[in-house]
Chain A
Amino acid sequence: MESIENRLGLVSFTVDSEPHIKPKSEKCETCSLKICLFICPARLYREEDGKVYFNHEGCLECGTCRIACPEDLDWEYPKGGYGVHYQFG
């Protein structure tokens, strides 16, 4: 069995100091669905005290959260040269 953390450990990233995806905290707090928590294939969204946090460091840049989020998620691709470097895409 390979946990998602182990699987992400196989992928190489160049991490920007600024996140390229930003959940809107006031909207997330009242969101009853919180689809992001289970739909992200890298499990990068987590909830703490009703607030939603996103860890951009392991982002696979698929865009699933962008499509599934019922709110208007602030989503951009990372800056040029940053983000995931797939070798076997």
Chain B
Amino acid sequence: MERFDAVVIGGGVAGLGSAYTMAVNDLDVLLIERGGNIGEKSVYGGRIYSWVFEQYVKGFDNAPVERWVKKERLTFLDESESVSIEFSASRACSFTAILTKFNRWLSEKVEDAGGLVVSGVKVEDVKREPLRVVADGEEIGCDVVVDAEGVNPIIAMKLGIRKDWKPSEVAVGVKEVFKFSESQINERFLVESDEGLANLFIGYPVFGNGGGFLYTNKDTVSVGLVVRVDFAMKKKLEVYDLVEKFRSHRELASLLKGGSMIEYSAHLVPEAGIHGVPERLHDKNILIVGDTAGFVLNRGFTIRGVDLAFYSGVLAGESIKKALDEGEIALAGEIYQRSVEESVIMRELERFRKALKVLENTRLYEDYPKTIIGILRDVFEIKDESKKLYDSVMEKTKGKKLRMLMDVFSAFRGL
């Protein structure tokens, strides 16, 4: 039987993070990916926070970055109009990227560091005592398994490490990618060639838990929608039509004019924050990382998953290395558990425990976009007599001022 120090299930960003960390620490590591090529099963919105890659990946300067995000825009949509708030930053902390390409680049880093990456093979099972991974009819022995199978935790559930997601704990995201020329994007979004825009949308057409996104890549634009599964179930939303409605809105139509669609994709997103993270992140020497562990943070105007996924992989890799060095490999799971609990991952998830509750407030999606748009229409639409701002605000918020104030207060505290 073939033997490795560790076998990693899944070549997404979390699995690659753990394999990379182990490979640079001279561990014998095998990563098994079910996709024919690394990266071709990975889907996300479009933006990565860079800190963890700058800190941990040698040669990050050569990463396939599309554009550094210097413009952050939040747009409220009703059926036909929109209001946007834009922040133009002097420095960037995140970049847009095609995750398929980014993961492929990471897998080259793993191989350069001496890790073995095998794609086109699906892990069927993990067996215990002794620990081994079953794939392609072969059994591969190892001291540790890192389960990075992603948001559908088929193996982790089978092993009893985590429960399945409830419909209220995940969202379905659909994404379309549009081809432009680089100069078209620069001109349309008023950015330089190495600078990009991240645009989140609240309101139409979901008007419920979820929203839209648009990210500018070098010569493509990623645009899509995320909607919580329980909400889509309750409202009987035809998910395949939602993105079509979204893209047909005046605001989106003008942003996407002249582009040609080159891909459509769909993926689930963990949305439960800290509530979606199981108490035990391991069963003995089987560790769960990334989406499998639920490490995604949604604050409404920012969503973080890729950096936390990679970092959880780094922590898993370091924990395994430490356990091996101490000659107590059986402690790898325990060390990982502790290091995640003490890390920025759990601190951030804990800090935004309340965010989920705030984001569940449907007034945020239904009433407020319409209220804001209505007030601004009154202010800017002049025919004969104009309305005073004060009168418009009073009229549009009639009977709900206290409610709105409390919502604003809880949004400030929670987000």
Contacts and interface: CB of A to CB of B under 8 A. Distances in A.
B152 interface: yes
Interface string A62-89: 1110111000000011111101111111
- The prevalent SS among residues of A at the interface is loop
Interface in B154-184: 154, 164-167, 170, 172, 174, 176-177
B149 to A, nearest CB: 8
Interface stretch (A22-30, A32-40, A49-57): A32-40
A87 B263 contact: yes
A11 B268 contact: no
B239 A39 contact: yes
Which secondary structure dominates where chain B touches chain A? mixed
B32 to A, nearest CB: 8
Contacts of B166: 67
Most B CB within 10 A of own CB, among A2, A38, A43, A66? A38
B100 A38 contact: no
Interface of A: 1-2, 4, 7-8, 10-11, 14, 33, 35, 38-43, 60-64, 66-68, 76-81, 83-89
A89 to B, nearest CB: 4
Given A38-B239, A80-B122, A85 B36 contact: yes
A84 B263 CA distance: 12
Contact of B43 (A7, A40, A77, A89): A89
A76 B154 CA distance: 8
Contacts of B381: none
B122 A11 contact: no
Interface residues of B, number: 52
A81 B120 contact: yes
A64 B239 contact: yes
Interface string B79-98: 00000000000000000001
Nearest to B120: A81
B261 interface: yes
A88 B39 contact: no
B267 interface: yes
Given A60-B266, A67-B165, 13 more contacts: A7-B176, A10-B261, A38-B236, A40-B239, A41-B172, A62-B43, A62-B172, A66-B152, A76-B154, A84-B41, A85-B40, A86-B263, A89-B265
